[in-house]
Amino acid sequence: MCAIVVDHILVSESVGVGRLSAHHPAGWPWLLAVRALTMGMATHATFGGGCFWCIEAPFKELAGVESAVSGYAGGDTPDPSYKDVCSGETGHAEVVQVEYDPDVISYGDLLEVFVTVHDPTQLNRQGPDVGSQYRSAIFTHDDDQQDAAEAFIAELDASDAYDDEIVTEVEPLETFYQAEEHHQDYYEKNPSQAYCSMHIPPKLDKVREKFADRLREQPVH
């Protein structure tokens, strides 16, 4: 059970995916776990990977992603503002909550995109953005997502794909607070803004190259 705050209204969300068997063989590949999710009803996934403008845009390139909403999660301060979160004192991370159709794109696909569009080895920062609000984090909506995300990160870490240790946090989502309206669809509204034009196009290029077969037919950007 988690909660979502949209326009200052607290809404409970229960994502009723059948729990994976506790008796599956040890060492089961994470991919089998995430395939189980595609047959369930989990339609939200929440990720923190630096500035939310920078991960919202790449996720919206994907077929099956119905929305990507910027917001805050993982902290203790109720209904924080952007200024509050930027102070580093609320405990929240900037995140993007993705609503997706599991019949079109899997949770495993989203995990792969997530680690493609940010560096999961950077602790409490992403590029020029420094602070715990920019930490690498996966906020899970149910036990199945928790199992799948933990297995994915463990396997990625063991693969030596990165020179440094992966620092991505995986924890259950308690409350998602939607960010202010001017932060939504920020890149679409401000493609020429200096920060956006420098940092977001390279992430879009990576997604378009690596996930060419999973892009939506009508590009957003």
**Prediction pTM value:** 0.82
As a whole number, mean pLDDT of residues 214-219 equals 86
**Is 100 strand, coil or helix?**
strand
Q: Which residue, 151, 176, 171, is CA-closest to 99?
A: 176
pLDDT digits (tens, 9 = 90+) for 19-55: 233 333 334 454 545 544 444 454 999 999 999 999 9
Say which residue the tokens 């939200």 belong to.
Answer: 44
Calpha distance 63→208 (Å, rounded): 12
Residue-level pLDDT at 5:
56
Indicate whether 55 belongs to any domain.
Answer: yes
CATH number of the CATH domain containing 98: 3.30.1060.10
How is 132-190 classified by DSSP, letter by letter?
GGG-EEEEESSHHHHHHHHHHHHHHHHTT-SSS----EEEE--EEEEPPGGGTTHHHH-
Beta-carbon contacts of 157 under 8 Å, excluding residues fewer than 6 positions away, are 165, 166
Indicate whether 93 belongs to any domain.
Answer: yes
Beta-carbon contacts of 192 under 8 Å, excluding residues fewer than 6 positions away, are none
Indicate whether 12 belongs to any domain.
Answer: no
Residue-level pLDDT at 218:
78
Choose, from 2, 51, 54, 196, the residue flagged as catalytic: 51
As a whole number, mean pLDDT of residues 123-134 equals 97
Who has greater pLDDT, 29 or 220?
220
pLDDT digits (tens, 9 = 90+) for 97-120: 999 999 999 999 999 999 999 999
Percent of the chain predicted with pLDDT > 70: 80
Beta-carbon contacts of 194 under 8 Å, excluding residues fewer than 6 positions away, are none
Catalytic residue flag (residue 196): no
Q: Helix %, strand %, coil % for the chain, to 5?
A: 35, 25, 40
| pLDDT at 70 > cutoff 80 | yes
Calpha distance 67→184 (Å, rounded): 11
Neighbouring CB atoms inside 10 A of 103's CB total: 9
As a whole number, mean pLDDT of residues 128-152 equals 97
Who has greater pLDDT, 7 or 96?
96
Residue-level pLDDT at 90:
98
Residue-level pLDDT at 26:
39
pLDDT bucket at 12, cuts 50 / 70 / 90: very low
- Long-range contact set of residues 74-79: C-beta below 8 Å, sequence gap at least 24: 74/48, 74/137, 74/139, 74/169, 74/171, 74/174, 79/5, 79/8, 79/177
Residue-level pLDDT at 18:
29
Query: Alpha-carbon dihedral of residues 214, 216, 220, 221, nearest 10 degrees?
Result: 40
**Cross-sheet strand order for the sheet of 136-140:** 9-13, 2-6, 175-178, 65-73, 93-100, 44-49, 136-140, 169-172
What is the extent of the structural domain holding 169?
Answer: 28-203
As a whole number, mean pLDDT of residues 57-82 equals 97
Report yes or no: 183 and 68 within 8 Å, Cβ to Cβ. no
Q: How many domains does the chain have?
A: 1
